[in-house]
Amino acid sequence: MAAESSVPQEIAPYLNYGVLGLLVMAIFMGWVWAKPAVDRLLAERDRLIAEKAKAEEQRDAAIAIAQDKLIPLLTTFVATTETLIPLLQEIVREGADEHRRR
């Protein structure tokens, strides 16, 4: 008899929510499966995981290109610039001296 009286007491609070409330509670509790919405969420999750993997591959490729090509190019540029600056300064000085003579 104690088991029979406990069942209505457990269900009674849920009846206060109404039909829509019971449906929402059933979805949250997992009693009702909102399959189309869940399937869309799972598909979106899978798409985002694939997109993330692709972005990581592109990032790794960009890092490899930077290490293989850009860094040596920048060091060559710096070396060339260091060589040219004194020459350009000398040309500017000679031009300034020649301008003063005129």
Render pLDDT for 17-26 as a digit per residue (tens, 0 to 9).
Answer: 777 777 777 7
Distance, CA of 70 to CA of 30 (rounded, Å): 55
- Domain boundaries of the chain, sorted by first residue: 1-32
Q: Is the pTM of this model over 0.85?
A: no
- Cβ partners under 8 Å of residue 27, min gap 6: 34
Render pLDDT for 9-68 as a digit per residue (tens, 0 to 9).
Answer: 566 676 677 777 777 777 777 676 677 877 888 999 999 999 999 999 999 999 998 888
- Judge whether residue 7 has pLDDT over 60: no
pLDDT on residue 11: 65
- Judge whether residue 5 has pLDDT over 80: no
